[in-house]
A and B are shown apart, each in its own frame.
Chain A
Amino acid sequence: EAGVTQSPTHLIKTRGQQATLRCSPISGHTSVYWYQQALGLGLQFLLWYDEGEERNRGNFPPRFSGRQFPNYSSELNVNALELEDSALYLCASSPKGLDTEAFFGQGTRLTVV
């Protein structure tokens, strides 16, 4: 069974540009979570989608947005990129239920120059 897949694995953008990151959850999982892992800051919760709806978002500015498609895959968009947005962006998926395990992808390394 395929795990959570993220694309691209690496992304280099210039300050002010937009970045789009993609995530395909495990088959049967309806929830998708996005986290930012910046150096020294641990994993910061960004967004949670379930059944196509945004369920919760972390303490990030509105230029971080996303969506979930009918097939439960998800996109994370970051507009007006800043140098501080350079980080590993991790996607996770889980079936329904908050006590279930969240399975993580390998991440997308975003570098803003």
Chain B
Amino acid sequence: AQSVTQLGSHVSVSEGALVLLRCNYSSSVPPYLFWYVQYPNQGLQLLLKYTSAATLVKGINGFEAEFKKSETSFHLTKPSAHMSDAAEYFCAVTINQAGTALIFGKGTTLSVSS
């Protein structure tokens, strides 16, 4: 079965600093990987997804993630944090097999200070 581990339940950065949110996955077959963001009292919004095409994936709001098979990682980065990036971020995995669904990590709360 596939699973996702997000390292660090809370990450704090200063405005303008690099954002790095870590995600490691476990899957016996090639995975599809996703990053979602959740703002307070809202549902989840897709930031980006990896589906076996380019290993460097660019998403919305300046975020990107790199799929590294050798490290089983799919870390999310943004060169310069903005106050509006403060939210909870979820990494998720699924596989191309009937009967499976998205499996989420426990989430990382990003705080951005001025």
Which DSSP category, helix, strand, loop or mixed, fits chain A's interface? strand
- B49 near A99: Cβ-Cβ < 8 Å: yes
Contacts of A4 in B (CB 8 A): 43
Interface presence of A72 (CB below 8 A)? no
Size of A's binding interface in residues, CB under 8 A: 22
**Whose C-beta in chain B lies nearest to the C-beta of A57?**
B101
A98/B100 contact (C-beta < 8 A), A42-B90, A42-B106, A42-B107 known: yes
- B45 near A104: Cβ-Cβ < 8 Å: yes
Given contacts A42-B107, A104-B44, 20 further A-B contacts (CB under 8 A): A33-B101, A33-B102, A42-B104, A42-B106, A43-B107, A45-B104, A55-B98, A90-B43, A98-B32, A98-B94, A98-B96, A98-B97, A98-B100, A99-B51, A101-B34, A101-B46, A102-B46, A104-B43, A106-B42, A107-B43
